[in-house]
Amino acid sequence: MKYHKQLVNAKEIIAKAYKGKYAVGHFNINNLEWAKALLEAGQASNTPLILGVSEGANKYMGGFKTVAGMINGLLEDLKITIPVVLHLDHGQSVESCKNAIDAGFSSVMFDGSHLSFEDNIVKTKEVVAYAKKHNVSVEAEIGSIGGEEDGVIGNGEFGDPKEAKEIVALGIDFLAAGIGNIHGQYPENWKSLNFDVLKNINTAANKGLVLHGGSGIPQDQVKKAITLGISKINVNTELQLAFASATRKYIEAKKDLPENGKGFDPRKLLNPGFVAIKDTFNELTTWFGSKGKA
């Protein structure tokens, strides 16, 4: 069996998910362990995979070229055959999107939610034009996602169906919209996604929609959102919490102490978190409906 020597863009897998009423998981990565765990879990379960990289995580890992080089190397060395997308998450400028594309990312999000809608349109159009020359898919955003992620702060404004129709006409491949979702952990007083807003945006866009802040939304709400057009679900916090919890248990059991063998070896120290990421991936993709859909 041949394996992919290059990444794919997300256009076809999102269109397929939209038509099939399931959602592809977008899982943010922060290092080699994150990326390797997700690739192995995706390959083992024959599940399409979107690896998301925020601007903060990109800086932490060294830069766009480093990240793209690492992922392409893993695709080859691990003999990955599933479709894998490397996606810039919440690109804050046209320049950042272009830099990611030039480095080899196969998909980008231009997040113009902090701009006026007019400026969002102008800059999204510029990103789309550049991306299409390189066979790269584009995600845009209307409204805003509540909360904070890697310095990106949103007030949680709902998306407008009229704006959805206008921005989709630019040639984007999938659309993020504020529907009451929040980055990070959800507060106790949070009640629900706004399904009326989602329904109206889906009707206007007629294209795969993206649920940001997917960590912590009740399963029944996520499944309902998928029936109303959500075709890509972003997960970050849930992976971080799973990794941290598994690592904490390992250390609290004193397995990292010198007198207990070489448990301090980073390959051993990070392994419980590595396994926890795989377990979380398998659990979430099961109820996203994307498991086995590669």
For residue 153, the model assigns a pLDDT of 43
pTM of the model: 0.92
**Residue 38: both structure tokens together:** 């997700």
Q: How much is the pLDDT for 158? A: 76
Residue 159 φ/ψ, nearest 5 degrees:
-75, 150
The Cα-based distances of 208 to 91, 183, 278, 280 in angstroms read 19, 20, 26, 24
DSSP the chain: ----SS---SHHHHHHHHHHT--EEEEE--SHHHHHHHHHHHHHHT--EEEEEEHHHHHHHT-HHHHHHHHHHHHHHTT--S-EEEEEEEE-SHHHHHHHHHHT-SEEEE--TTS-HHHHHHHHHHHHHHHHHTT-EEEEEES--BEEETTEEE--PPP-HHHHHHHHTTT-SEEEE-SS-BSSSPPTT-----HHHHHHHHHHH-S-EEE-S-TT--HHHHHHHHHTTEEEEEESHHHHHHHHHHHHHHHHTTTTSGGGSSTTSHHHHSHHHHHHHHHHHHHHHHHHT-TT--
In the chain, what are the domain boundaries? 11-240+274-288
Superfamily of 11-240+274-288 according to CATH: Aldolase class I (3.20.20.70)
pLDDT for the residue 186? 64
So what's the pLDDT on residue 121? Answer: 97
pLDDT at residue 1 in the model:
42
Strand pairing of 152-154 and 147-149? antiparallel
> 229 phi and psi, to 5 degrees?
115, -10
Q: Which residue carries 């529907």 as its tokens?
A: 179
For the chain, residues with pLDDT lower than 70 are: 1-5, 144-157, 183-188, 214-215
The set of catalytic residues is: 89
CA dihedral over 88, 92, 93, 96, signed as positive or negative: negative
